[in-house]
Structure 1
Amino acid sequence: MPLRLHHIVIDAHDLPSLARFWADALRWRILSVRDKEVVVGADVDAPVGLCFMPAGSTRKTVKNRVHMDLTTTADDRDSEIARLIALGARRVDVGQTGRESWDVLADPEGNEFCVVRPKSTLVS
């Protein structure tokens, strides 16, 4: 059997809070809560979920080496960015020029992610 992606693991200082942010952001739900692990996903049978685990005492100080790209329809993009900001995300500058086809945001613990334009708007 070939390997499949199961979870994307995100280190967190406040597991329940960060898991709730991502569950709300993706319109997913909390699937599992344990002492040192919170899992969110679309449902229990979804092929991939997010797993939040303790980050330890150090704080994030540099840009993520891996990040998520989120997308939606062209009509919803600005309202979805506003919704994410209302949930606790913030805009961040990681060196973008302003001409990119994405907006860079960070979750409440500073993990960067992008909201990209739908593929249909990128094709010329």
Structure 2
Amino acid sequence: MACRISELVLECRDPEALARFWCEVLDFVVLDREGDGSLEIGPREGFGGPQPTIILSRTDEPQRGKPRLHIDVNATDRDQDAELERLLKLGARPAEVGQTGEEPWHVLADPEGNEFCLLRARLNPL
């Protein structure tokens, strides 16, 4: 028997704003709100499905250094260029991490500066 990823936890200053962004990016919904302002977003079928949920954990501590984990996303219903345009309109911004410009992916940052990559391949929706 093996494990599988069920949740990703992302510490952030404004969980509500980040939830709006990531729900639009991933077609997720808010699944749960905690009293401390943290919340969980995920696919409409909820926790335990084929995709992990994301816990947006409220913190006022500044980020220390570069995170060692980032999220990669793939478009499901359009090509990479069209998806890049959509993500930028949602509030993503280009991020510089030492790319050469020859990569088949785009490095972006969410509204709080968390880096993520938009990969080229289009995936089938779940």
- TM-score, scaled to structure 2: 0.83
Deviation of residue 35 (structure 1)? 2.1
Rounded to whole Å, the distance in 2 between the matches of 1:19 and 1:74 is 22
Partner of 1:100: 103
Is the partner of 2:39 in helix, strand or coil?
Answer: strand
Is the partner of 1:72 in helix, strand or coil?
Answer: coil
**In the alignment, which of 44, 47, 52 is matched to residue 56 of structure 2?**
52
- Please tell me the residue identity of whatever aligns with 1:5: I
Rounded to whole Å, the distance in 2 between the matches of 1:76 and 1:14 is 30
Contact 2:76 2:122 (8 Å CA) reproduced: no
Which segments of 5 or more consecutive residues in structure 1 lack a partner in the other structure? none
Give structure 1 regions of 4+ aligned residues with deviation exceeding 4 angstroms.
none
Partner of 2:74: 71
The structure that is strand-richer by fraction is 1
Rounded to whole Å, the distance in 2 between the matches of 1:68 and 1:21 is 14
Query: Within 5 Å, which residues of 2 pair with 1:1-124?
Result: 2-36=2-36, 37-43=38-44, 44-45=46-47, 46-47=49-50, 48-58=52-62, 60=63, 62-72=65-75, 75-118=78-121
Is the partner of 1:35 in helix, strand or coil?
Answer: coil
Contact 1:102 1:114 (8 Å CA) reproduced: yes
**What RMSD in Å do the two structures reach over aligned CA positions?**
2.1
Deviation of residue 61 (structure 1)? 5.8
